[in-house]
Structure 1
Amino acid sequence: MDTIKISTAQNIDIEYEIAGLGERIAARCIDLAGFVVLYFLAMIIGVIGLVSFSGASFYVALIGFAILFVFYDLICELFMDGQTFGKKALKIKVISLDGAQPTFGQYIFRWLFRMIDFGFPFGWGVVALVSVVVTKNHQRVGDILAKTTLIKTRPRTQIENVAFSFALPDEYQPVFKEVLHLNDRDIELVYEVLTGYYQTGNPQLIYAMATKIKEHILTTIPAGMNELQFLETVMKDYKQLTSNMG
């Protein structure tokens, strides 16, 4: 399963799954379904205007629909954080390959090359279909040139899937009750950092996250406890305290 790493505000790399061909097609179908509805509405408005007023109103409605169709993806992605309504429904979004939010220029590149990806002379989407299938990051031509791709908006680790590798005894007493100031997403990040450390041995991940957690819950690490032990204790305390609340 292909993934891409995105750096969080805590300077921690979190892996997201790259959206596959199925998600892209489904999102596009949703967007096109919306345009079918808008097309018929535009035609009804145009016909009403043609009967009640003049022929100009029909062409105004038709031109308005055409403009919306042409600029829909660009406008939505610019103002909806890399998503159209279809992408939002499928929980996918446009992201730069370096993990950053795409720039205005990158959105423009994606939009300009839609003609090659989906235009009539190029097989009504065949180019995009083949490109997404064969490229490593599932990119259409516009993505390749803009250095973007689509990702699933949910990180790979969810709180309900966090596999706590420890069993807490019934008499376990939380050390940091301040962890109640955290939320599930914070704990997901802690889990990702711990997993990354166990796999890579990079202590900088631990130091960075421990610092952020300390600042967030306004606590200090007791003498004799290092940053790794602190984060592991935070996980245990959160599990214990939130399970008691449930």
Structure 2
Amino acid sequence: MVELQINTTQNVNITFVAASVGERILAYTIDWVIKIAYIVVAFQIVFNVFEWNDAIADMDYWSQRAIYMCFLLPVMCYTLLFESLLDGQTIGKRIIKIKVVKIDGYQAGIGDFFVRWIFRIVDLNLIGPIFGSVVALITVVLSKRSQRFGDMTAGTSVITLKNKVNISHTILEELDEAYTPKYPNVIKLSDNDARIIKETFVKARASKDYETLIKLRKKIIEVVEIKDFNSSDIEFIDTILKDYNYYTQRM
């Protein structure tokens, strides 16, 4: 399992799990089944039902090729079209629950999807769809971030959505609009300090490890330089985290 550390625009590191090779292959296969189905149905309707074979029989070779390419255009642009419309997913990716994201924390845009699509010529189709897929597979396996050449160039990767990251996995806290902070000195903490505090706090509270909560509270008081408080350890630490979010979100 490959984990991707993505730094968001709020300077928060979020860990995503990269899509496995099996998930990517399965999504790729589903997409190809859809493409083949389109080709079969489109050509059956156009050339059998409307009898276009007779209509283009007298055309020159290149005109015939141009007509065929027009019908194949949706297949050629399939990935670019759907990743742009479905926010980083093709139909196959959506079924398997994987998605293309930027590794710098920004939302992937049509420019990123275009670069990935263009590089399919290199790492998927240069030596044929079968051998090209092998090249892409090897690249994904050997890459530290599970990227093929197109991903490396576009600065993207494919993640799984089956293990969704929610706010409880970050230093962010949900605050009411009327929230009033109690400890302004929390600005002495860094993002890394707040992350360690929250991770320790969540684990200790869940396991009812009161000894760790006491040590954590004492350490916070020492670093933040709080002289007194009149709440339990759990309430105090929870307030510290909320206060930190209150002040840092307004900087």
Interval of TM-score (by shorter of Structure 1 and Structure 2):
0.5 to 0.7
Residue identity in the other structure for 2:133: G
Q: Secondary structure at the match of 2:176?
A: helix
Matched, 1:144 2:145: no
Q: Is the 8 A contact 2:8 2:104 kept in 1?
A: no
- The offset of 1:117, in angstroms, is 1.3
The DSSP-based 3-state class of the residue aligned with 2:127 is: helix
Give the residue type in structure 2 aligned to 1:50.
Answer: E
Correspondence for 1:230: 239
1:161 aligned partner = none
* Partners of 2:53 and 2:140 in 1: CA distance: 48
How far the C-alpha of 1:10 sits from its partner, in A, is 6.0
Q: Which runs of 5+ in 1 are unaligned?
A: 158-187, 194-204, 234-246
Count residues with an aligned counterpart. 184
Deviation at 1:61, TM superposition (A): 7.3
Give the Å deviation of 1:50.
1.0
Describe the shift of the 1:15–1:50 C-alpha distance in structure 2 as closer, same or farther (beyond 3 A): same
Q: CA deviation at 1:3?
A: 1.3
Residue 7 (structure 1) shift: 4.8
Measured after TM superposition, the shift of residue 54 of structure 1 is 3.1
The equivalent of 1:202 in structure 2 is: none
Matched, 1:68 2:77: no
Q: Deviations over 1:189-212 (max 9, x none)?
A: 13x13xxxxxxxxxxx3xxx34xx
Separation (CA, whole Å) in 2 of partners of 1:14 and 1:228: 22
> Is 1:38–1:65's contact at 8 Å kept on the other side of the alignment?
no
User: Which residue is equivalent to 2:111?
Assistant: 105
1:15 maps to which residue? 15
Larger-Rg structure: 2
Conserved? CA contact 1:19–1:92, under 8 Å: yes
Q: Aligned in 2, Cα 1:224/1:78: closer, same or farther, shift over 3 Å?
A: farther
Find the aligned partners of 1:113 and 1:127 in 2 and give their Cα distance: 12
CA distance in 1, matches of 2:124, 2:100: 17
Looking at structure 1, the residues matched to 53 and 115 of structure 2 have their Cα atoms a distance apart, in angstroms, of 42
Tell me how far apart the structure 2 counterparts of residues 98 and 227 of structure 1 sit (CA, whole Å).
Answer: 34
Contact 1:15 1:155 in 2 (8 A): no
C-alpha change, 1:52 and 1:74, in structure 2 (3 Å) is closer
Q: For residue 147 of structure 1, report the CA deviation from its aligned partner.
A: 1.6
> Mapping of 1:111-150 within 5 angstroms?
111-121=117-127, 123-150=131-158
Q: Determine the structure 1 residue equivalent to 2:167.
A: 189
Letter in 2 for 1:215: D
**Partner of 1:48 in structure 2?**
49
Q: Contact (CA 8 Å) 1:43, 1:61: kept in 2 or not? A: no
For residues 36 and 81 of structure 1, the distance between their equivalents in structure 2, rounded to whole angstroms, comes to 23
Residue 215 (structure 1) aligned with residue 224 (structure 2):
no
Q: CA deviation at 1:9?
A: 7.3
Distance 1:153 1:110 in 2: 20
2:101 and 2:158 in contact (8 A); partners too: yes
Residue 98 of structure 2 corresponds to which residue in structure 1?
92
1:90 CA drift (Å): 0.9
- Tell me the equivalent position of 1:37: 37
Aligned identity (percent) is: 30
Is contact 1:6-1:100 (8 Å) kept? no
Say if 2:9 and 2:105, in contact at 8 Å, map to a contact too: no
Equivalent residue number for residue 225 of structure 2: none
**TM-superposed deviation, 1:73:** 0.6
C-alpha deviation, 1:49, in angstroms: 1.1
